[in-house]
Amino acid sequence: MNPLWQRLRDQAHQLTERNPVLRDYATSHLLAYSTFEDALAANLARQLQTQASTVGLENWGLSSTDTPPAVAEAAAADITRLRIVNPACPDHLTAFLTFRGIQAVQAYRIAHALWTEGDVQSAVLVQNWAANTWSIDIHPAARLGKALFVDHGIGLVIGETAVVEDEVSLWHGVTLGSTLSEAGDRHPKIRRGALICAGATVLGNIEVGAHAIVAANSVVLKPVAAGTVVAGTPAKVVGNAPTSLATFTTKSQG
């Protein structure tokens, strides 16, 4: 955690040197805080406050970051991965301050912690506030890993019993939903490193295997084997996933 926090502070200072008019902004959003956890909670609270009205969200968020799963640890992994794989992200500070996928997923993590503690009503309130703020709707009972890449994110919907493992990439307009013909465990399981492209819909208690790719606007109704590419409506196998993607590998990881 400490190396990322130091890098964020260094980049904030660099921002104020380049553009002094942003000094107050950089201070109030990052430099005024002594830890990454404090800055993360304060920024989430600031974003959600309009929806939450008079609720004291900053203190609420600070307490939730200390409950399993470790919200701050997962957030750091998300920021680090975004910086590595997204050529549109110039640095870690930009990821932290501006990317809605980062922000909405951390709000989900707080809601998930509340849900796990048995505070279901509060968890669903946070879910609703986050959906209205970022147009990303993740059920607090869903189980999401870390080092996620949620690109753009607008219109992303993840259902109650969905599982999304580490290093999964999800584009805007993705739905991990139910067929309505199953009860109980009824949502998809997206395995490590899979990539679900824009507008894709994956329905039912099915598995998308590790490092598989679901092409844009596909409708997936059957399991997808690891390392394959599926496309179409309904989705069918069209090839094997490449070992690397140019978008993810052409940018400096510094």
Q: How do residues 14-56 score in pLDDT, each as one tens digit?
A: 999 999 999 999 999 999 999 998 899 889 989 999 999 988 8
Numbered ranges of CATH 2.160.10.10 in the chain: 155-243
CATH dotted code for 155-243? 2.160.10.10
248 closest CA partner among 171, 176, 189, 190: 171
Are 200 and 214 in contact by the 8 Å Cβ rule? The answer is yes
What are the backbone angles phi and psi of residue 176, rounded to the nearest 5°?
-110, 90
Numbered ranges of CATH 1.10.3130.10 in the chain: 1-135
pTM for this one?
0.93
More confidently predicted of 69 and 209: 209
Arch. (CATH architecture) of 1-135: Orthogonal Bundle (1.10)
pLDDT of residue 131: 98
Q: How many CB atoms lie within 10 A of CB 59?
A: 11
Instruction: Provide the token pair at 116.
Output: 């796990």
